Amino acid sequence: MRKFLLGLFGLFLILATFPTLIQEIHNLLKPPQIQSPGTTVNMYNHFTQKIEQLSLDDYLVGVVAAEMPASFPMEALKAQAVAARTYIMQRMSPGGVKNTRYPGADVSSDPKEGQAWISRAEMEKRWGKVKSLEYYYKIKWAVESTQGQVLTYKAQIIFPAFHASCGGGTENAEEVWVTSAPYLKGVPCPYCADPNPVRQATYTLAELDQKLKTNLSAVPVSTANNKLLVITKETKTGRPKEIKLGNKTYSTTILREILNLRSTRITWSINGDKITFTTKGHGHGVGLCQYGAKGLAEQGKSYEDILKHYYTGVEITMMK
């Protein structure tokens, strides 16, 4: 009995000191310190509806945790960390896009308004106590080992667009947002490792008429298959850019938002009074493909290789 109690006490001590042990190991493995720019981020937390003051690194850890699966390879996480740092510094630098919605804040944690962000408490909810410690220090390493690094094009910090999965190739910025950027050009992406890239969404003609203010229900059945939906423009990479639905034409970017489709890589099939939209990929398709980054990392590519594949002509620059 005494041995059992001693063993139980020893197990308790191990569990009690486990978080400290992980932190100590992390500190031992910490790379040589690069001079930190000492930036503070004033973030509007859309969960608490309050402005929080965070160190740049703490902000970036929360962003990478929210934006990319922590199970991804380290080089993919490093690429995401550099992209995330570039995004916030581009907003906070002179001439950058300033927040106007939340006075006093540099950025919001709402993914609809910028980069997503989650707290340590939210990480624990998502991943559990032990796994969240592993993932937190993994992400922290990705942030610290790329500390101070941002993406530039001709000495100017870039807008580092990224998305979940491209479905086989990324898109030119001007095909999605009208405005072009020389570093946001479509590139082939045979590495996209999204395990479930294809999704479907089905709507009745009446539902589409209501959502899109179209007249699809009025098209005669005999001509419906030929007249209901027609691609009127394609992007240079072959995605539909504009689709005519009955009497109205929509950009696929707008159509994706209204119909809650996962991407603009769209095909469809018609069955009676229903249309099934099939999409491949997830997101707008511009810039870094996160599942592509995963695939490249699994092939042994570095985060520098990954970033330079998806952002044409960029340099990785140290902040001054």
Check whether 19 has a pLDDT greater than 80: no
Alpha-carbon dihedral angle through residues 42, 46, 50, 56, given to the nearest 10 degrees: -20
Closest CA to 120 of 107, 137, 103: 137
What residue type is 61 in one-letter code? V
Check whether 23 has a pLDDT greater than 60: no
Q: Give the pLDDT band (50/70/90) at residue 22.
A: very low
Residues above pLDDT 70, as percent of the chain: 84
Q: Give the pLDDT band (50/70/90) at residue 34.
A: very low
Helix, strand or coil, per DSSP, at residue 146: coil
More confident residue, 272 or 278: 278
Q: List, for residues 117-161, the tens digit of each pLDDT value.
A: 999 999 999 999 999 999 999 999 999 999 999 999 999 999 999
Q: Give the pLDDT band (50/70/90) at residue 222.
A: low
Residue 266 phi, psi (nearest 5) = -115, 135
Mean residue pLDDT of the chain comes to: 87
pLDDT at 149: 97
Q: Give the pLDDT band (50/70/90) at residue 236.
A: confident
Residues 6+ apart with CB under 8 A from 296: 75, 76, 191, 305, 306, 309
Q: List, for residues 178-213, the tens digit of each pLDDT value.
A: 899 999 999 999 999 888 999 999 999 999 999 999
Per-domain residue ranges of the chain? 20-26+39-191+285-318, 198-280
